[in-house]
């Protein structure tokens, strides 16, 4: 094993410095399994750098390391992963695997869950609290093909490829691995089944919030206080992550032993506001206010700024949809868009603005109620100010 660890360190240190992906293998302790002796699946350095995905129902198996039954891998980032409140949905890091939707069905997955521990120093470890404790999963949850929705485990959500590499891409967009694989999926919230659908704005993987870390007594065993409650770790950041196959002794005739395969681990990119976006950006607070000939208009729910999205995507959006959207922003025009609807029915009210105030600086793409003389007549109108076309567009 030692020579593999050294090789991983050598090839990782130069190319991965400053990248959002894990850059160093600290330990690889696989359990028994059918892939553990296979050199295509037992090289821990395959968990470093960017993941390699394909489709939600067809995983790419070219960049994985198997954990084996009950096995684990420990990785490090070169700089700390922070609990940044600007991270989308509060999610701070993403673990990529070869989980898949069986037949494309998000309610029926091939999942080989691994529990997730994080550590600021490689000594003190904390557990990302899962919705079903590892001890309760033994014997109670079908691993492998399963309809049981999981939260707080890795190997639950598929990894997709870069849009420009796919035969049938969701969007005609171009992304680097650093851009696509740092946008989190919305995690399953335990109630809203829509959150189980794949968010096409991201590259997939399972996203986690540092704030969900709790004190543990043993790996995967959360401590409880005198009242029986879990004890928050109150971590602000971490540098080390350990992923452990959650259920030991599980398997099937078809698939043999069931254990997680890990592809990569990434930090999440913080989101920016509609008005703060310049260059490539991730925006989570964007509500659709108008549908246009070549795309749509988005506005911040606090009405601080708006932008025009130019897209030929066939993905449907409606007025009132809240989106997570990524793309290149310049002069309040967003191109190369990828997006997903995260909720519906948001009512953005128009900002009142006299006709003379309708300028690029004040009103660009904003939903406004305006008044003044239009076509020789005093009118009160609603619409948006199209900065690109230099005029007011009535609703």
> In which residue are the tokens 């650093």 written?
178
CB 184 within 8 A of CB 323: no
| φ/ψ (deg, to 5) at 362 | -90, -30
DSSP assignment letter at 177 = H
Residue 216 in contact with Ca ion, rule: CB under 5 A: no
Contact segment (CB under 5 A) with Ca ion among 34-42, 81-89, 126-134, 265-273 equals 81-89
Which member of 56, 154, 214, 247 binds Ca ion (CB under 5 A)?
247
Q: Which stretch binds Ca ion (CB under 5 A): 113-121, 169-177, 249-257, 346-354?
A: 249-257
Number of residues that bind Ca ion (CB under 5 A): 15
- From 98-106, 150-158, 176-184, 211-219, span contacting Ca ion (CB under 5 A): 211-219
Dig out the tokens for 346 from the structure: 């948001």
Q: Return the number of the residue (241 or 247) whose C-beta is nearest Ca ion.
A: 247
119 binds Ca ion (CB under 5 A): no
Q: Contact between 245 and Ca ion (CB under 5 A)?
A: yes
Q: Does 92 bind Ca ion (CB under 5 A)?
A: yes
Cβ at position 87, least distance to Ca ion in Å: 6
Q: With binding defined as CB under 5 A, does residue 111 bind Ca ion?
A: no
DSSP state at residue 349: P
**Mask of contacts with Ca ion, 291-310, x by CB under 5 A?**
--------------------
Inter-residue contact 290 to 320 (CB < 8 Å):
no
Position closest to Ca ion via CB: 63
Shortest separation between residue 103's beta carbon and Ca ion, angstroms = 23
Helix, strand, coil % over all residues of the chain, rounded to 5? 10, 40, 50
**Nearest distance, CB of residue 247 and Ca ion, angstroms:** 5
Assess 209 for contact with Ca ion (CB under 5 A): yes
Cα 288 to Cα 74, 130, 254, 382: the distances in Å are 42, 34, 47, 16
The answer to whether the beta carbons of residues 144 and 134 sit under 8 Å apart is no
| Alpha-carbon dihedral 134, 182, 44, 161, rounded to 10 degrees | 100
Give residues with Cβ within 8 angstroms of 128, minimum separation 6: 115, 116, 117, 118, 152, 208, 209, 212, 213
**H or E element: which one contains 301?**
none
How far apart (Å, rounded) are the C-alpha atoms in residues 71 and 73? 7
Token output for 314: 């066939």
Q: Which residue has the tokens 């995905």?
A: 53
Q: Which is nearer to Ca ion, 63 or 300 (CB)?
A: 63
**With contact defined as beta carbons under 8 Å apart, do 149 and 196 qualify?**
yes
Instruction: Choose between 47 and 283: whose C-beta lies nearer to Ca ion.
Output: 47
Shortest Å distance, C-beta 371 to Ca ion: 44
Per CB under 5 A, which region of 1-9, 85-93, 287-295, 350-358 contacts Ca ion? 85-93
Q: For residues 19 and 38, give the distance between their C-alpha atoms in angstroms, rounded to a whole number.
A: 29
Binding flag, residue 90, Ca ion (CB under 5 A): yes
Which of 24, 43, 83, 321 forms a contact with Ca ion (CB under 5 A)? 83
CB closer to Ca ion, 247 vs 325: 247
Can residue 8 be called a binding residue for Ca ion (CB under 5 A)? no
259 binds Ca ion (CB under 5 A): yes
From 8-16, 214-222, 253-261, 367-375, give the range in contact with Ca ion by CB under 5 A.
253-261
Q: How far is the CB of 283 from Ca ion (least distance, A)?
A: 18
3-class secondary-structure state, position 223: coil
- Is position 185 an interface residue for Ca ion (rule: CB under 5 A)? no
Look up residue 272 and give its two tokens.
């920016």
Give residues in contact with Ca ion (CB under 5 A). 46, 63, 69, 83, 90, 92, 209, 211, 245, 247, 250, 258-259, 263-264
């Amino acid at each position: 094993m030692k020579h593999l660890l050294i090789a991983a360190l050598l090839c990782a240190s130069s190319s991965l410095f400053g990248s959002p992906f894990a850059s160093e293998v600290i330990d690889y302790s696989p359990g028994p399994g059918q892939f553990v002796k296979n050199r295509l699946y037992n090289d821990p350095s395959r968990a470093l750098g960017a993941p390699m995905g394909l489709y939600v129902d067809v995983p790419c198996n070219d960049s994985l390391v198997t954990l084996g039954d009950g096995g684990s891998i420990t990785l490090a980032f070169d700089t700390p992963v922070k609990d940044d409140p600007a991270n989308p949905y509060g999610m701070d890091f993403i673990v990529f695997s070869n989980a898949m939707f069986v037949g494309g069905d998000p309610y029926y997955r091939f999942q080989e869950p691994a529990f997730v521990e994080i550590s600021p120093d490689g000594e003190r470890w904390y557990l990302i609290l899962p919705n079903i404790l590892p001890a309760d999963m033994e014997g109670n949850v079908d691993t492998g093909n399963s309809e049981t929705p999981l939260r707080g485990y890795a190997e639950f959500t598929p990894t997709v490829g870069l849009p420009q590499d796919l035969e049938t891409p969701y969007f005609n967009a171009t992304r680097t691995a650093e851009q696509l694989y740092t946008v989190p999926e919305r995690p399953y919230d335990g109630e809203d089944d829509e959150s189980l659908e794949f968010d096409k704005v991201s590259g997939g993987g399972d996203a986690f919030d540092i704030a969900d870390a709790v004190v543990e007594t043993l790996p995967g065993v959360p401590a409880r206080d005198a009242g029986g409650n879990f004890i928050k770790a109150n971590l602000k950041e971490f540098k080390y992550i350990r992923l452990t196959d959650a259920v030991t002794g599980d398997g099937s005739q078809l698939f043999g032993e069931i254990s997680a395969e890990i592809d990569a681990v990434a930090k999440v990119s913080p989101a920016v506001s509609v008005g703060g976006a310049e260059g490539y950006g991730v925006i989570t607070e964007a509500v659709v206010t108008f549908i246009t000939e070549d795309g749509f208009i988005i506005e911040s729910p606090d009405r601080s700024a708006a932008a025009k999205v130019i897209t030929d995507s066939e993905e449907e959006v409606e007025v009132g949809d809240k989106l997570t959207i990524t793309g290149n922003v310049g002069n309040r025009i967003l191109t190369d868009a990828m997006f997903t609807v995260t909720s519906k029915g948001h009512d953005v009210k128009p900002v009142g603005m006299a006709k003379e105030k309708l300028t690029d600086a004040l009103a660009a793409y904003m939903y406004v109620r305006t008044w003044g003389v239009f076509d020789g007549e005093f009118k009160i109108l609603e619409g948006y100010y199209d900065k690109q076309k230099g005029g007011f567009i009535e609703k």
